[in-house]
């Protein structure tokens, strides 16, 4: 975070209630992240494509919808100080299998949606003297993906890693930190929607055959990256994949 109480170098690490937005907050990873931030005393709004209890409806592919949703956050809990982007959809097959329509849809949700949400958040964070952004990428963005992920998913998640580094460099002067996590298979609805054969093939990539990971454990890493104790971490990608990729 930026130079706020409990965050400036040399200051005591005093907990501060922050205005947090978790995009994709109704999904497995997003929901676990919302709950962990709330447990730490933060004010949290979840954005997702379908509204529900504690969730503001937002289609991240539509600029006006994103603008409206962030305006709602500001009205309810003040300027955004922390933003986690956990929205995402997957594909399958090779470049000949994945249609242009599917390619565009996946990139719109996974990458352009992150860009639109970041555009809304950075101004708030600058005005607040700093902030923290975490983009949820994927191990597929690390090793290039496969037919199990599809090309658009792998490309979009790899692009999130580059976007993270861009944000960390460009907005360091604003006191804004940007980091990414690159999860391997985790026990989410997206994971459970895969057929048993695909799940087995993915888990077969893990040393010792462990997995899938627990979203609650991953959320601890995400929240830690936004904590004062991580104020010297920016532009980093934290791999949480059970050893599926090591680099």
List, by residue number, the catalytic residues: 153
Distance CA 186, CA 188 (A): 6
What are the residues facing 132 on neighbouring strands?
A: 82, 177
Say which residue the tokens 């956050």 belong to.
73
Q: Which of 81, 86, 77, 78 is nearest to 54 (CA)?
A: 77
Distance CA 228, CA 232 (A): 9
Q: Which of 121, 161, 128, 125 is nearest to 143 (CA)?
A: 161
Specify whether the CB–CB gap between 16 and 80 falls below 8 A: no
């Amino acid at each position: 975070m930026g130079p706020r109480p409990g965050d400036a170098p040399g200051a005591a690490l005093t907990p501060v209630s922050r205005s947090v937005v978790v995009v994709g907050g109704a999904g497995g990873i997003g929901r676990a992240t919302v709950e962990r931030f709330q447990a730490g005393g933060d004010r949290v709004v979840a954005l997702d494509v379908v509204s529900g209890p504690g969730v503001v409806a937002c289609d991240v592919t539509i600029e006006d919808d994103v603008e409206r949703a962030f305006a709602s956050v500001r009205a309810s809990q003040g300027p955004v100080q922390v933003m986690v982007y956990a929205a995402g959809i997957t594909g399958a097959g090779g470049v000949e299998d994945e249609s242009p329509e599917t390619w565009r849809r996946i990139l719109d949700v996974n990458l352009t949606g992150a860009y639109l949400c970041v555009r809304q958040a950075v101004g708030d964070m600058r005005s607040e003297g700093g902030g923290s952004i975490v983009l949820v990428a994927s191990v597929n963005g690390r090793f290039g993906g496969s037919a199990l992920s599809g090309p658009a998913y792998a490309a979009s998640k790899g692009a999130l890693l580059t976007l993270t580094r861009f944000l960390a460099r460009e907005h360091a002067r604003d006191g804004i930190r940007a980091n990414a996590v690159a999860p391997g298979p985790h026990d989410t609805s997206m994971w459970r929607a895969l057929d048993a054969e695909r799940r087995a093939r993915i888990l077969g990539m893990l040393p010792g055959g462990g997995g899938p990971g627990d979203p609650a454990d991953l959320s601890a890493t995400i929240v830690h990256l936004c904590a004062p104790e991580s104020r010297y971490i920016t532009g980093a990608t934290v791999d949480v994949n059970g050893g599926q990729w090591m680099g």
